[in-house]
Structure 1
């Protein structure tokens, strides 16, 4: 969505297989929530997105594939994530422990540590996270690259 009414990009993970998997889950209606680290917003100097904000979901090829609308934004300690949020991430988790293990693997990965500028970054129960819930407002036609 270029031009004066362009929507901000909505990025899940880093470009590659994981992003492709997550975008596909959103488009299938399986993924209706996601989790980020509050420190990411702080490092980027970004405000938290407001409920009602619309964004363009971006795939690994950089294409806008859908318009999303935020329906909930919560900031809470990692240790307080509940089962419903874990299930709504649409990644097949059946428990908070599974969800957390998957997210810790991502957050402790080299790409995330590099993005945060901290090669030893780790999370614990007190790490503040941003739990977002969204809905697909519109699927966009995607031109082949």
Structure 2
């Protein structure tokens, strides 16, 4: 039976492991106003296809949100904003846009998983937000490149 809340899922996880007093945040992938897209990305995470993500550094600084750090825990929410799993950050690096590797693009699990497709999709995705913040996307735009693993599932 899936947990009813993020706190219940976290408590269930803590019964099976020692997190050494760690805390968690809730998280989803994609635009919350597009629940079908969020669900599709959640499904990729749960299937083990999506194990990485990239976000412009500007998104963290503009929103005044902490950059993911190795060892961070997140309660993964699905398209209905319900908790379905716990993911843990295992790599977090600051890398220029055109230095994101083909391997990382593959592990993001979207599109055809090539670096060319990744750059096309991410340019389309990141440009409007960066421009709204008075920035532009270029080869040197700093990106937070993150790798994570599913450490607990609600099902």
**TM-score category of the 2 structures, normalised to the smaller one:** 0.7 to 0.9
Q: Is there any run of 5+ residues in structure 2 with no aligned partner, and where?
A: 1-5, 12-22
What is residue 60 of structure 2 aligned with on the other side?
A: 41
The two structures, once aligned, show a CA RMSD in angstroms of 2.2
Is the counterpart of residue 106 in structure 1 residue 125 in structure 2? Answer: yes
SS in 2 for 1:108: helix
Structure ID, larger Rg: 2
Aligned pairs, how many? 136
Q: Is there any run of 5+ residues in structure 1 with no aligned partner, and where?
A: none
Counterparts of 2:29 and 2:113, CA distance in 1 = 21
What is residue 83 of structure 2 aligned with on the other side?
A: 64
1:2 to 4, 7, 20: 7
1:1-145 equivalences in 2 (<5 Å)? 1-2=6-7, 7-15=24-32, 16=34, 17-109=36-128, 113=129, 118=132, 122-141=136-155
TM-score after normalising by structure 2: 0.78
SS in 2 for 1:74: strand
Deviations 1:64-112 (A, max 9, x none): 1110010000111001011000000011434211101011112235xxx
Deviations 1:14-63 (A, max 9, x none): 12232111111000000000011100110122221220111101112111
SS in 1 for 2:132: coil
